[in-house]
Amino acid sequence: MKKIEIKIPQQYGSLIGLLLLGALLSILSPSFLSLSNLMNVLNQVSLNGLVAIGMTFVILSGGIDLSVGSVLAFSGAVLAALLKTGLPDMLAIVLALALGTLMGLVNGAFISRFNLQPFIVSMAFMTMYRGATFVFTQGRPITGLGDTGVFVASGRGDVLGIPWSGIVLLAAFFITAFVLDKTVFGKGIYAIGGNAEAARLSGLPVKRLRASVYAISGFFAALASVILTSRLDSAQPLAGQGYELDAIAAVVLGGTSLAGGRGFMVGTIIGAFIIGVLNNGLNLLEVSSFYQQIVKGAVILLAVLLDRRK
């Protein structure tokens, strides 16, 4: 008997998974393919998608960032507090983004400067930043943030029916995919994930690159916090809990290697959509949220199993 071998480049493997999932859901639920539901999915995916974009930089470099959920919560709380002082919303957003970037940079600086394990360091910052959020908010939501302007549009507005959050996500995707694929900076990130010592001996600024991926991760966590805070019209001290795991799941579903050096941004976006479509589909089918978790875990397990053959 002749063995038939089907080779699918890794980016397309996850795309096929997404299409199959979509096809299945459109059969099971007539409302799945409706325009309003698809835009709803896009809106839902944008948060995890943005965090996962930042996480992709970190994982490609051979690291991991568990602090993103806490960065999101803290920068969201600061954003809300700034808005309450009456600061112009654009300025408040820029400050929140800068804060998130700085928080990521501090995390990354410890990892690269002292050559520490990213898992442990980012877990320490996850805990500290969450604690800082509780201190800052005194454990209570910050509400009543206003109802006009860029801030409100980011989480609730749309253009021709396409949610702003989705547009932000797609723009972020195109920019970061370009950066990873076409710039010296992007190649440097692949290089340190592939072989950090060879990268160092090729004259690449390994320490700076390593610190910068965490800054990028912090930036995207803060960007997600703007959308979330706007959508909820409040900052919650518990916001973003567990987001780091969803983001890692999206990156891995997209075929990026947790060992670093191998993967693509397009995979991450597809991975985020797989998770988003799955959540949406299970909701449409009125599957209890208890079962949803089991299904989500099983899908991740299946994806990793399929990925193993490479």
Partner 1 sequence: MMLEMSGIQKSFGPVQVLKNMQLRILPGEIHALVGENGAGKSTLMKILGGVIPKDAGEIYIDGKPVEINKVRDAEKIGIAIIHQELSIIPDMTIAENIFLGNELKTSLGLVDEKRMNQQVEEVLSKLGLTINPKERCRNLGVGQLQLVEIAKALIHKAQLIVMDEPTSALTDHEIERLFGIIRSLKQEGVSFVYISHRLEELFSICDRLTVLRDGEYIGSANIGDLSFNQVISMMVGREIGDRFPKKTNHPGEVVLEVQHLSRAKAFKDISFTLRKGEILGIAGLMGAGRTELVRSLFGAEPADSGEIKLKGKAVSIQSPADAMKLGFGLVTEDRKLEGLFLDFKLDFNIMAANFEHLSKHGVLQNRRITPYVQNLIQSLRVKTPSMYETAKNLSGGNQQKVVVAKWLGRNPEILILDEPTRGVDVGAKREIYEIMNELASKGVSIIMVSSELPEIVGMSDRVLVLRLGHQAGILESEISQESIMALAAGV
Q: Which residues bind partner 1 (CB under 8 A)?
A: 182-185, 187-188, 190-191, 194-195, 197-205, 261-262
Is the CB of 71 or the CB of 215 nearer to partner 1?
215
CA distances from 138 to 154, 215, 226, 228, 237 (A): 26, 27, 20, 20, 8
In the bound complex, what is the minimum distance in angstroms from residue 194's beta carbon to partner 1? Answer: 4
Instruction: Give the side-chain half-sphere CA count within 13 A for 34.
Output: 10
Residues 6+ apart with CB under 8 A from 144: 84, 233, 234
Nearer Cβ to partner 1 (30/203): 203
CB of 226 to partner 1, least distance (A): 27
User: What is the C-alpha to C-alpha distance for residues 72 and 228, in angstroms, rounded to an integer?
Assistant: 9
Closer to partner 1 by Cβ: residue 211 or 226: 211
- Shortest gap between Cβ of 183 and partner 1 (angstroms)? 5
Q: How far is the CB of 213 from partner 1 (least distance, A)?
A: 16
Tell me whether residue 25 or residue 204 sits nearer to partner 1 (CB atom): 204
Nearer to partner 1, 156 or 200 (CB): 200
Q: Measured from the CB of residue 61, what is the shortest distance to partner 1 in angstroms?
A: 13
* Gap between the Cα atoms of 224 and 222, Å rounded: 5
Least Å distance, CB 267 to partner 1, is 16
CA distance linking residue 66 with residue 120, whole number of Å? 9
Across 203-233, b (16+ Cβ under 10 Å) vs e yields: ebebbebbbbbbbbbbbbbbbbbbbbbbbbb
Radius of gyration from C-alpha coordinates of the chain = 20
Q: 140 vs 208, which CB is nearer to partner 1? A: 208
DSSP H/E element including 293:
helix 289-307
